[in-house]
């Protein structure tokens, strides 16, 4: 691992770290915020998965999460959204390729050699964090924005024994039925839609649900509402009688202004679940 930067932040430390990833076959970068309590021993972990075009840096800089995480004594992990670098496949469109990994393991070329984001987030990065930092990996929660909200929800429902709680800001909720999903899942996984089901939060909610609490925030003025399809996940949660809150926030759009406004709510929501686990 190579430490790119370490900065004092709300009594703790904000790190940016680069490492050679075996699953993505390239260098990957992630950000890690450790609260003051990490100096005395392992602390719970909240993952934040970012959206299309983003890197580890967007949420680290814009979300304002460190202040609330320091107050609650929990760590924050901000992974990148895809593999990057020379030799890594890309596309001219912003919603495919670098910056648009969709948190899946690609099975088709040219994506397959590097785009193994599911394995990276589910296996490789947690193992690296557990080995090198004072983190309590028995206490993990996960959140994300847009494409990252999709990833957070699908990972949480796929690993129910790992994550204590899950939340999302304006998540892509039903990619099988959306242009933000069908295009990417076809490119990465192929035309057989049965392979897509594990990456559709609405279908997973219908099939499995989540044992812990769920919090979803969606802005009513989000310019991507038709692509996000919040009504699909909301209906699935209601039908399943899922323990959760689905909040439509009047006047808010898809930006980080929206995320920053409700970040305290989400960090507190997860901290309550983590510390009571």
Q: Are 142 and 166 in contact (CB under 8 A)?
A: yes
Q: Dihedral sign, CA of 29, 34, 38, 43?
A: negative
Catalytic residue among 23, 82, 141, 146: 146
222 part of the active site: yes
Q: Which residue has the tokens 């009047």?
A: 250
150 part of the active site: no
H or E stretch covering 6: strand 2-9
Catalytic residue among 56, 145, 199, 254: 254
Catalytic residue among 80, 200, 217, 222: 222
146 part of the active site: yes
Strands 214-219 and 2-9: unpaired
DSSP H stretches of helix in the chain: 56-62, 65-72, 117-119, 125-132, 147-158, 179-189, 201-207, 225-228, 230-240, 256-276
Q: Are 155 and 102 in contact (CB under 8 A)?
A: no
255 Cβ neighbours under 8 A, 6+ residues apart: none
Residues that are catalytic: 146, 222, 254
């Amino acid at each position: 691992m190579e430490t790119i930067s370490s900065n004092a932040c709300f009594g703790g430390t904000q790190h940016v770290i680069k490492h050679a990833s075996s699953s993505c076959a390239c260098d990957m970068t992630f950000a890690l915020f450790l609260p003051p309590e990490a100096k005395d021993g392992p602390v719970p972990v909240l993952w934040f998965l970012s959206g299309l075009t983003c890197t580890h840096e967007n949420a680290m800089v814009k979300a304002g999460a460190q202040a609330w995480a320091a107050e609650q004594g929990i760590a924050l992990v901000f992974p990148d959204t895809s593999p990057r670098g020379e030799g890594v496949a890309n596309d001219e469109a912003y919603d495919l390729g670098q910056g648009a990994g969709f948190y899946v393991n690609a099975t088709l070329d040219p994506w397959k050699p590097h785009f193994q984001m599911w394995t990276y987030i589910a296996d490789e990065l947690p193992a690296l964090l557990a080995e090198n930092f004072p983190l309590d990996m028995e206490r993990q929660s996960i959140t994300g924005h847009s494409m990252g909200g999709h990833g957070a929800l699908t990972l949480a429902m796929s690993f129910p024994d790992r994550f204590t709680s899950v939340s999302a800001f304006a998540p892509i909720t039903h990619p099988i039925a959306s242009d933000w999903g069908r295009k990417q899942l076809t490119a990465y996984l192929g035309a057989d839609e049965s392979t897509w089901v594990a990456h559709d939060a609405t279908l997973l909610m219908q099939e499995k649900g989540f044992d812990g609490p769920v919090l979803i925030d969606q802005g009513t003025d989000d310019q991507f509402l038709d692509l996000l399809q919040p009504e699909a996940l909301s209906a699935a949660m209601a039908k399943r009688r899922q323990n959760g809150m689905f909040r439509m926030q009047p006047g808010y759009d898809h930006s980080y202004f929206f995320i920053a406004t409700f970040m305290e709510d989400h960090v507190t929501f997860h901290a309550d679940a983590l510390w009571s686990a």
